[in-house]
Structure 1
Amino acid sequence: MRVTVSVAIAGASGYAGGEIARLVLAHPDLSLGALTAHSNAGESVAAHQPHLAAHPAIVGRRFDATSAPALAGHDVVFLALPHGASGAVAAALAEVDPDVLVLDVGADHRLVDPQAWRDYYHSEHAGTWTYGMPELLHAGERTASAQRALLADTRRVAVPGCNVTAVTLALQPGVAAGLVASDDVVAVLAVGYSGAGKAPKTHLLASEAHGAAVPYGVGGTHRHNPEIVQNLQVAGAQQVRLSFTPVLVPMSRGILATVTAPVAEGTTAAQLRDAWATAYDDEPFVHLPPEGQQPTSASVVGANTVLVQVALDERAGRAVITCALDNLVKGTAGAAVQSLNLALGLPETAGLPLLGVAP
């Protein structure tokens, strides 16, 4: 007999919260419970998430105010809150419902180093939770197993940042295999505007964004920097020197990352491809396209799928890796549901779309 798992979402009026709700509604083992918001409390769910409006679980619903009592009593709670807001809610929830599975899609619990948190987020660290990237390689691994084991034995999950997911999945096979050097990593990412959140800001207006590509977080200031470094160190990097620059481009969702790093002397293109194939051939969501075929962000829209391609620039002596993913699915909500599946002992792929929408 199938047991339905009840799910609450804090911050359900935003992009991440709405995407989590979409995946929960399509999941065979989950049922949607409380939907909470802060400034939008009391307002219609359908008005803020019109793409979900026709579902019976949404019709007539209004957002509750975000509080521990409103979230308590569910099997699972997703926290889709602004950075810095999850820690207090999680602490209050632990007092009233300590056994609930909590997945934080904000940044509050991702970093291991409290000083790195203070340097980039300018507040006190809320603590470190199990990292919600099942495909994360640990030093010495050629395929991911250690991270999945951690996720299968936790009640607190910190879901990775979307840019972090793209750069990590792009580069980690080469780091773990000792084929690329991590002391000169350059990553430039084209990012859809939903990655900037739903808050109304002048630079996010259509009149400002249409036809424009705009870099942000330039010069090592983006908050995903320490998280990327942390992941590469988990994969075995001794020293990480990273230049990371995201660029907003006029698409609603998606990331296309181009990551380069020096290769070890004598490394061949065949060796690089073998390392990436070894890491990802058995992964349900990370795929290596045929040699020479480059990923596109359009190919993964709406899917939990990641496309990663690797090539050798012999003249530069660098590996060039391209990676495409949907920032709201595999970059956020899909990673959260994937981690939930592992934590609850469900099939890892349950409720997660493998196919993109085209054209």
Structure 2
Amino acid sequence: MTLRVAVAGATGYAGGEALRLIAGHPGLAVSALCAGTTRGPIEDYQPHLRSLAGLHVQETNPETLADADIAILGLPHGASAAVSAQIAELNPDCLIVDLGADHRLISAEDWEAYYGTQAAEPWTYGMPELIRHTGPTQRELLAAATHIAAPGCNASAVTFASQPAIAAGLADGTGIVAALAVGYSGAGKALKPHLLASEALGSAVAYGVGGTHRHIPEIAQNLRAAGATTRSLSFTPVLVPMSRGIH
């Protein structure tokens, strides 16, 4: 059986990566491509997706996304919650995957402190490798989920690096120091002066310093799942002149 997938934010980096994975999956087929402002053939925006050439990008609306078996939302933070609620109302059987941050955090207090808006409902966290010290495995939870929150990139890197030590009893989650070299694609395709090549080439720029980065509560939440006691950590991401990847 082939499942039909609609993708919002199809012309962006996250949406394009989702489409690359879908194109290579024998059980999935793209039924709709949506974006906020861009229109036209998908090859104008994602030329590497040759198997999808000829498909056109249309306006993002809940009706189009709900008319699929799976809806993937590659929208800016804060934009997914309202759209996903409408999709669920129109088609309760639609599996929704949010690539943004809207549904990642269990704690509404953490969301409001780091994002400054009202928190949305937390969804099943889309990291099958997440270690849980009690209850069912994350893979088991995901198998039964209809709403999935994809993890953040920095959060994934630090979680994968530190969770095994916590699960093995070698660390309790305190005193963790994470310094990451981050590529520029994580900032998305929107044009911003400080992200231009003329500003970035030959330099390294720390951002979200001093405990302000939004992935901190997500990382701490993951570490607590493995049995840690921490609610914070020393976390410094550094933009370096490469397109993608976290090392």
Paired residue type of 1:18: G
**Aligned counterpart, 1:286:** none
Paired residue type of 1:193: Y
* SS of equivalent to 1:255: coil
**1:140 CA displacement:** 5.8
**Aligned counterpart, 1:34:** 32
**Aligned counterpart, 1:174:** 165
Percent identity, please.
56
Matches within 5 A, 1:124-273: 124-139=118-133, 146-256=137-247
2:30 is the alignment partner of 1:49: no
Paired residue type of 1:127: E
Distance in 2 (alpha carbons) for counterparts of 1:140 and 1:157: 20
* SS of equivalent to 1:84: coil
Distance in 2 (alpha carbons) for counterparts of 1:84 and 1:240: 23
2:64 is the alignment partner of 1:64: no
* SS of equivalent to 1:63: strand
Distance in 1 (alpha carbons) for counterparts of 2:69 and 2:232: 41
Matches within 5 A, 1:292-307: none
CA contact (8 A) 1:9 1:80 kept: yes
Question: Gaps (5+ residues) in structure 2?
Answer: none
Change (3 A) 1:51 1:44: same
* SS of equivalent to 2:48: helix
**1:182 CA displacement:** 1.6
2:92 is the alignment partner of 1:92: no
Distance in 1 (alpha carbons) for counterparts of 2:171 and 2:105: 24
Distance in 2 (alpha carbons) for counterparts of 1:88 and 1:235: 31
Q: TM-score, normalised by structure 1?
A: 0.67
**Aligned counterpart, 1:111:** 105
Candidates 16, 19, 39, aligned match of 2:17:
19
**1:148 CA displacement:** 0.6
CA contact (8 A) 1:184 1:241 kept: no
**1:30 CA displacement:** 0.6
**1:87 CA displacement:** 0.1
**1:65 CA displacement:** 0.7
Change (3 A) 1:160 1:76: same
Q: TM-score, normalised by structure 2?
A: 0.97
**Aligned counterpart, 1:120:** 114
Q: Which one has a bigger Cα radius of gyration?
A: 1
> What's the RMSD between the two structures over aligned residues?
1.3
Paired residue type of 1:80: G
Distance in 1 (alpha carbons) for counterparts of 2:132 and 2:17: 29
* SS of equivalent to 1:51: coil
Paired residue type of 2:57: F
* SS of equivalent to 1:181: coil
Paired residue type of 1:103: V
Name segments (4+ residues, structure 1) moved above 3 Å: none
1:166-222 Cα offsets, whole Å, 9 max, x none, are 000100011111102322111000011111111110111111111111111011111
CA contact (8 A) 1:116 1:226 kept: yes
**1:43 CA displacement:** 2.9
